Amino acid sequence: MVAEARRSERILLASLDRLGDLIFTLPAIDHVRACHPDADISFVATAYAAGVLEEHPALDRVYPVDRDGNSVRRFFAWRRFLRAWGRVPPDRLVLFREGHDGRALARRFASARIDSVRDIPETERRILHTSALRSALAGRVCGRPVPADALPTLHIPTRRREDARERLHRAGVAAADAVALHPGVNRLVRRRGFRRSAPPEPSPKLWPLESWIALGRALAGCGVRPLLTGSGGETAVCAELAAAIGPAAVSLAGAVPALELAALYASVRGLVVSDTGPGHLSAAAGGRVVSIFGPTDPALYAPLAPDSRRRVLRRNRDCAGCRAPETSAATPHTCMSAVGVDDILGAARALDMVPG
């Protein structure tokens, strides 16, 4: 009688958070696969960030969970994931971000072996870059560390690269003549406290809109076409910015799949962006990126790429760590407005994004 084949180990990786954080998890995902080549490895991620894991070779399946909207919508999204997963718990559950969702997963799959980012000493969690922190957790899971030189690398399907080329072609833009600008104008933060109905405020990580217009005009003056990108909710504002810059500017803001956007960034001369997800997309896709930082610490959150493809600009470090929201998008933090157009152009020229 032939003995029954041993069932493959089932590993569930979880990171229900933002786009940039999920990109920072890529070296950890690759390491877990390298150390467990025969395991069945799944990933559960927020629906809007899960697109970066499309056709990822290290994963057998990806479970996107919609975490936007009201609590009822989130509850049913969570139920759909649990039904899709089934009753049998994973053998191992790896929580790259704990929080409410991570704790819910730990309770649901209490019989699994659970590894959490909280297992890393707090002294390390406070000083490690997010990618290094998640790689440290993968090292604990696998019993050997992630290589120190491992950087987030996106696996972009051929069809997404073709879609990006077609999108540029329809816009009448040659990739070699364009620099992408991602203002992130729809970034909002919710006030915490007793006022549950308090309206969202503009993010303190916004660079002034007038600065984006001045930068676009300066790029056009250098013979470079400014290419505005943004989410579906930023379409109108990006169109207004493009119009204010002038005829050289084009807006491609809209609902573009994450990996198509990454392919677009990798094909143009480079990207200028604040501390937001598209900067990490560009870096992980092999593109050149200039990132503008203010209240957040680049040592913990900067896009990861070789110095030949990355510049991080930050001024007025005395206010580092301040996350107090502003009263309007017209009054950004001084640490953001202190970064000038000339600073951006200098960094872009150093990366050969702009002709010297």
For residue range 24-77, what is the model confidence (pLDDT) as tens digits? Answer: 999 999 999 999 999 999 999 999 899 999 999 999 999 999 877 667 888 888
Query: In 3-state terms, what secondary structure has residue 337?
Result: helix
> Which of 108, 142, 176 corresponds to the end of one domain?
142
- Mean pLDDT (whole number) for 270-299: 94
> Which of 112, 142, 172 corresponds to the end of one domain?
142
Q: Where are the alpha helices (DSSP H) in the chain?
A: 19-24, 26-35, 71-85, 99-108, 122-125, 130-142, 158-171, 209-221, 235-245, 258-267, 277-285, 298-301, 334-337, 341-350
- Mean pLDDT (whole number) for 191-195: 42
- Mean pLDDT (whole number) for 207-225: 95
Q: What is the CATH number of the domain that holds 297?
A: 3.40.50.2000
User: What confidence tens digit (pLDDT) does each residue in 153-184 have?
Assistant: 999 999 999 999 999 999 999 999 999 999 98
* Whole-prediction pTM: 0.89
Stretch among 61-70, 221-230, 243-252 having the lowest mean pLDDT: 61-70
Specify whether 164 is located in the same domain as 137: no
- The verdict on residue 221 lying in a domain is yes
Domain with 49, as residue range(s), is 10-142
- The verdict on residue 291 lying in a domain is yes
Contact 323, 335 (CB under 8 A): no
User: What confidence tens digit (pLDDT) does each residue in 315-351 have?
Assistant: 865 655 555 544 444 455 677 888 999 999 999 999 9
How far is it, in rounded angstroms, from Cα 322 to Cα 296? 8
* Closest of 274, 285, 101, 120 to residue 183, by C-alpha: 274
